[in-house]
Structures are given as structure tokens and as C-alpha cells.
Amino acid sequence: MTGSYPATRLRRTRATAWSRALHRENVLTPADLIWPLFVTEGRGVEEPVGSLPGVSRWSLDGIAARAKEAVALGIPCLALFPNTPVNLRSDDGTEALNPDNLMCRAIKAIRDACGNDIGVLTDVALDPYTSHGQDGLLDASGYVVNDDTVAVLVDQALNQAEAGADVIAPSDMMDGRVKAIRMALEMAGHCNVQIMSYAAKYASAFYGPFRDAVGSGGLLKGDKTSYQMDPANAEEALREVALDLAEGADSVMVKPGLPYLDIVRRVKERFEVPVFAYQVSGEYAMLEAAAAAGAGEREALVLETLVAFKRAGCAGVLTYHAPLAARLLDG
Ligand code: PBG
């Protein structure tokens, strides 16, 4: 209950640093961060991603080094995205099923470098492997077919679990994929491999730099509006989350992040489950551009946006700013 002035003066508890610290409702720590990394072929390779200043694709040795860095910083989990060589991309994306693909080798490189000191989250969707840049299989008209795609995604998820993935994160938005993947993981003996579903993933204009990073941007024909959600919808997000939880998701994700904090809050209040958000590539680029333009102080912008996710109800955030934020929080 709040009384009235002057008995109640809300500035009283804000007057000193110790008191502000004592009354702080939400605290961001490195343990709240998931660091997305882009993987590329080669040795000793670092390829800066033009549209993501400060973010690079790394070859396997670099990925292992980033994993050690993350452990040292207290970041508990990495999210991996491969830049598949163009000659291995195909209409049906079968490179996703190759047990020796870039993704599987990256999982093993991290495991070799860090053992079980860090979690490895892997993206399930076909876009880094298809020649058309869509997340699933196309019919003759170019429509992304649901059930046949799910069958491939199940095999992709099993392939990643066999390689040692800890968290399977389906980002494809096909109907029924969480149930199919959960059943297949159980039957294959992977009962402790988690599923974090991209449950409410919107057809967003904020994914552009990511598509550059995985090399699918130039290939993409059309858009993803027949499977990713309409940014105008919120009730539908709650239905998506309800279905994914019923199908066996251990945690759910909302994506993008900042423009969709209302969805995070509604999901958290309705379902009381672990909710994550993905502060996506376009959001990172927007913050970096604002800082470069002198429109705000970089470190402060980063930490303010990240604590906003916690306040909205997130258990954690996928963010390209993870190493910077962890360093700032440590210092
Ligand atoms: C692909 C996928 C995308 C992202 C994560 N997984 C892009 C897309 O759906 O086109 C975007 C992440 C980002 O923008 O940082 N299934």
C-alpha cells in the first residue's frame, strides 16, 4: 500500500547508493546471459560480421576459445549458429543431418575445451542449410510445408543431441515440432536433453544482421510470414506457448526481445514457467548504432536494456552483448 505525501516520500529510499542497492527489485548477473556464437569453417579464422559491429564468425578453435572465455566470465550457456558453406546448402537442407556438420563439430569442440562447465544450446531450423533460406521444406508453390518439415527437424535435433547438445532450441515455428522432438529424444535415451522452444517468434524486421551472419540473407526468397507470428498479435503468442508447454518444452522463448516485453510479461504471469527472450541481431545493431552516433552511452544502454528483460519476467536473455555485459557486471 502507498500512503500519501509527506508521510510517503518515494525519494527517501533513493537518496543514497546503499539504499538504492538495498531496495533494488531485480539484479542482472552473468548467470542470466546466453551468448550466441556464429561458426565458420577453417582454422584460425575470425570473420567480422559487417552489420554486427564487434561480432564475428569463428572457426572451431575460436569457438573453443570463446567457450573458455564464457566460463571465465560466468556465462552459463552458448547458443550456436553455423554459417554452412554454400556448396553444402540444398533445397532440402540435408547437411543439417550430417553427424560431421559444422554445428556438431562445434558442439564437440566446446565439450573438449570446457567439459560440462558450460551449456550448449543448438538451433533447430533448416535456414542455415537450405539453398532458399527458408526454415523448412518447400512445396511446388514455395509454401513451407509443416509435417514433412517436422520429420526432418526431428532428425536434426537427434543429430545435435548425439553430438552432445544440452538444450535443443527449435526456432522454426512449425506446428507440433516440440512434441515430435521430445518423443524422439526420449526414445533415443536423451531424456535429460532440454527443449527451449522459440514459442512466440515473430516475423520480424530485426533479424537482418543474423541472416548476414549465417549467410542465408542473400539466399532468402520471400518472407517467413506463413510460419512466424504477426507482430500485431499477443493472444496468439499465449496459445503458442500453451501448446509448446503441453508438448514438452522445458522453457519458452519470446523473440525478438525489447519490442515484445509485453509478451514476456503476459507469458510469465499466465504460465509461471521459465521464460527467456532473444535480444536479436537488429536490436544489437540498433544499440551499437545509437552509441556510435553519440545518442547514448554504450555500457549504460546495454545494462539498462538487459535488466529490463529481468524486470519483465525473464529467467535469462540471449544477447550478443553477453561478454561485454558480463565484464561490466564483474567490474
Ligand atoms: C532462424 C533464426 C533466426 C534467428 C535465430 N534463428 C532468423 C530467422 O528466423 O530468420 C534470428 C536471431 C537474430 O536476429 O539475432 N531460424
DSSP notation for 128-151? TTBSS--SS-B-TTS-B-SHHHHH
Q: Best mutation site among 123, 153, 171, 286 for ligand 1, i.e. most ligand atoms within 8 A of its Cβ? A: 171
Confidence of residue 329 (pLDDT cuts 50, 70, 90): very high
The candidate with the shortest Cα–Cα distance to 158, out of 88, 113, 83, 96, is: 96
State in Å: Cα 165 to ligand 1 middle: 19
Q: Report how far residue 101's alpha carbon sits from residue 82's, in angstroms, rounded to the nearest whole number.
A: 9
Model pLDDT, residue 2: 76
The pocket around ligand 1, CB under 6 angstroms, is made up of 123, 125, 127, 135, 171-172, 207, 210-211, 224, 280-281
On the question of pLDDT at 330 being above 80, the answer is yes
Full set of structural domains in the chain with CATH: 34-329 (3.20.20.70)
Of 12-16, 226-230, 327-331, the one with minimum mean pLDDT is 327-331
User: Quick check: bond before 256 cis, omega within 30?
Assistant: yes
Q: What is the mean pLDDT of the chain?
A: 97
On the question of pLDDT at 268 being above 90, the answer is yes
pLDDT, one tens digit per residue, over 155-176 is 999 999 999 999 999 999 999 9
Model pLDDT, residue 211: 94
Burial status of residue 165 (CB atoms within 10 A of its CB: 0-12, 13-18, 19 or more): buried
On the question of pLDDT at 1 being above 80, the answer is no
Question: Is 201 tagged catalytic?
Answer: yes
- Cβ–Cβ < 8 Å for 34, 318: yes
Model pLDDT, residue 111: 98
State in Å: Cα 10 to ligand 1 middle: 42
Question: Is 310 tagged catalytic?
Answer: no
pLDDT, one tens digit per residue, over 97-120 is 999 999 999 999 999 999 999 999
pLDDT, mean of residues 265-282: 98
Share of the chain above pLDDT 70, in %: 99
Q: Among the atoms of ligand 1, which is closest to the Cα of residue 128?
A: 1
State in Å: Cα 213 to ligand 1 middle: 10
Model pLDDT, residue 221: 86
Q: For strands 251-255 and 194-201, give the pairing.
A: parallel
